[in-house]
Amino acid sequence: MVAVNFPPADQGFAVLVDIDKCIGCRACQLACKDWNGLAPVKTTFSPTFTNPQSFTAQDWKVVFYYEGAAKKGLATPAGEVVFEQVDVAPLPAQCLHCAAAPCARACPSGAISVTPEGAVVINKDQCIGCGFCENACPYDVPRRGSDGKYYKCTFCVDRIQNGREPACVEVCPTGVFTFGPASQIVQMAQSEAAKGRTVYGLNLNPYVGGQVRWIYVSSDRKAFAIKQHFPSDAVVPTNEAREVLQEIVPPLALVGAVALTAVGFASWRRARIEEQKSQQKQKEQ
């Protein structure tokens, strides 16, 4: 575990992801693979159309598809007519680059650096494959590769440090992603929220630093995708507890032991959830 210096959330870069503009083409998913030299992965039929069905060590960006119901209004000369229909919303997902990334805090080998741009990057050479990052991530992002090391989106750090926007941003046909200085992007997100659109990524749990750098916005119509995709609270309780303990254990070892019991229980519960998730994943593959 290393002490990590996080740039302030309003410094560095951020991205606004407007899923109303997304046509679900998955160019971003392949642009990511292409730029980062990630090998194709053998997949099979996906019941959700999402493929692979979640991140892999070779797929750092995945477009998820959600089916829901929506109210669709149409302007006619006689006024607005509303039809209630099925809807499908694609949601391009990747590491959200938390303002204070718990994975970086959790990494015992110091393999996860956070750059001044706000990119949270796993350094392959220093990764020991312990999986603390995976455990700490509230968004289920880091993935263990066949070499035992962990992989995830780097915010295209080798592009944004060299004057280019991330590969997925560059490739998008419909301008879903707006890449820019964090202060500006956060402001844009806030003004979208003020217009009544659903925003995900601001005002989150302190566990992730209160906000993330990839902020999602959508109309009411597509908001079901955001609700289905993101956890209601951006926190991993076991890891949060551990972090709290870390601060108080030395003076209070006894209390710590008691806490361990509590955390152990929480961990057991989470393991159960993980197990279920993992079984589902296996079935899909």
Partner 1 sequence: MTAATTRRGFLKISAIAALALGLPASAQSSLIQQKTSWALGEIGGKTGLKNASVTPTICTFCSMGCSIDFYTNGSDIIWTRGSPESYINWGALCPKGKVAYQLATSTERLDSPMIRTGPKPPAEEILNAKTWDELVAVIKKYPPQWRKVSWDEALSYIARRLAAILNDWRSSTGAPAQQDGYYYIGAKTPVAVMGSSILTNEEAYLSIKLAAFLGTSNTDSEYRKCHSSTVTALALTYGWGAETASIEDVALADVVLFFSNPAEAHPLSFYYFMKGKKERGTILIALNPNYSRTVEASDIWVPFRPGTDTAILNYILHYAFFERNPPIDQLPEFQRLMSTRWNITQDDLDDLKAMLSEYDAQTVSNITGVPVDMLRTVAQIYVENSGVVTSHKKHGVIQWAMGMTQHTDAVLSIIRAAAIVQLLLGNVGYPGGGTHPFRGHSNVQGATDVQGGGLGVLPGYHAPPGSPFEVRLYQDWKLQGMPDPWNWEVPQWALKSFSTTAPSRGKADAAKALEVFNFYGWRRFELLWGIYCGTVPPDDPVNGKVVCDIPIGTGASETTLPSKIFTGDVKAAFIFGENPAVTDPNIKVTMAALASLQLLVVSDIFETETAWFADVVLPGVSFAEKEGTKTDGNRVIQWQWRAVPPRGQSRPDYWIIATLYKYLRREGAILLPSEAAGVRSEEVKFRKMGQIVFVYERPLRPDYSWDYSGGVGAAQPISDIEAEVNPRIINKEINYTMLIYQGMYDPVRDTFTTMRRNNALRNPGEIDGTFSSTFKVYKNWGWSWPLNVRFMYNYDSLQIALGHPDVVTAAGKQWTVTGETGEIIDEYTGEYRPAFVPGHNFFVPKAFKRRLSGVADLFGGVDLMTFIRTGQLSFPGKFVVETDGGVQVLDFETFASSTGMRYPWANDALYWDEETMTFPAFLKRIFYPGVGWRQFKPTYENMRSLLRQYYSQLGDLKAATLKVIQEMGGWYKGYTFQWPIHAEPVEAPIVDFAIQYPTLAWLNPYNIEVLEQEPSILQGKMVGVALEPNELQAQLQPLGITGITVVMTTNRLTETWHSGSMNRRIPDLVELVPRPFVKIPRKLAQQLGVSTGDYVELWTARGGLKMRAYVTDGEAYLEVNGQDVPVVNILWSWSFEGPDAGPSANFISPDVVDPVTTIQETKAWLAVIRKAPSV
| Pick 69 or 206: Cβ nearer partner 1 | 69
**Of the candidates 34, 147, 220, 233, which one interacts with partner 1 according to CB under 8 A?**
34
Q: Identify which of residues 108 and 231 has a Cβ nearer to partner 1 in the complex.
A: 108
Among residues 11, 24, 140, 237, which is the contact residue for partner 1, using CB under 8 A? 24
Contact in structure between 209 and 98 (CB atoms under 8 Å): yes
Which of residues 38, 91, 185, 234 is near partner 1 by CB under 8 A?
Answer: 38
Q: List the interface residues with partner 1, window 85-114 (CB under 8 A).
A: 85-90, 108-110, 113
In terms of CB distance, is 194 or 283 closer to partner 1? 283
Q: Which of 8, 23, 148, 265 binds partner 1 (CB under 8 A)?
A: 23
Query: Between 176 and 215, how does the x/- string for binding to partner 1 read (CB under 8 A)?
Result: ----------------------------------------
Q: Name the phi and psi angles at 16, rounded to 5.
A: -100, 125
Burial (0-12, 13-18, 19+ Cβ within 10 Å), 194: exposed
Q: Cβ neighbours of residue 268 under 8 Å, at least 6 residues apart?
A: none
* 146 touches partner 1 (CB under 8 A): no
Residue 119 to residue 12: CA distance in whole angstroms: 8
Inter-helix orientation angle 237-248/253-284, to 10°: 160
Verify binding: residue 147, partner 1, rule CB under 8 A: no
Cβ closest to partner 1, residue 72 vs residue 233: 72
Instruction: Tell me the pairing of strands 120-122 and 214-218.
Output: unpaired
Nearest approach in angstroms of CB 203 to partner 1 is 27
- Binding of partner 1 by 271 (CB under 8 A): yes
Q: What string marks each residue from 233 to 252 as x (binds partner 1 by CB under 8 A) or -?
A: -----x---x--xxx-xx--
- Pick the piece of the chain touching partner 1 (CB under 8 A) from 33-41, 92-100, 185-193, 203-211: 33-41
- One-letter amino acid identity for 206? P
| Residue 175 CB coordination number (10 Å) | 10
- Whole-angstrom Cα distance, residue 237 to residue 127? 24
Residue 81 CB-density burial (10 A; 0-12 exposed, 13-18 middle, 19+ buried): exposed
Tokens of residue 5, six digits:
């210096």
Q: Are 95 and 153 in contact (CB under 8 A)?
A: yes
Q: How far is the CB of 130 from partner 1 (least distance, A)?
A: 6
Contact pattern from residue 52 through residue 81 relative to partner 1, giving x for each residue in contact according to CB under 8 A and a dash for the rest: x------x-------x----xxxxxxx--x
Question: What minimum distance in Å lies between the beta carbon of 48 and partner 1?
Answer: 9
> How many whole angstroms separate alpha carbon 8 and alpha carbon 183?
10
53 vs 202, beta carbon nearer partner 1: 53
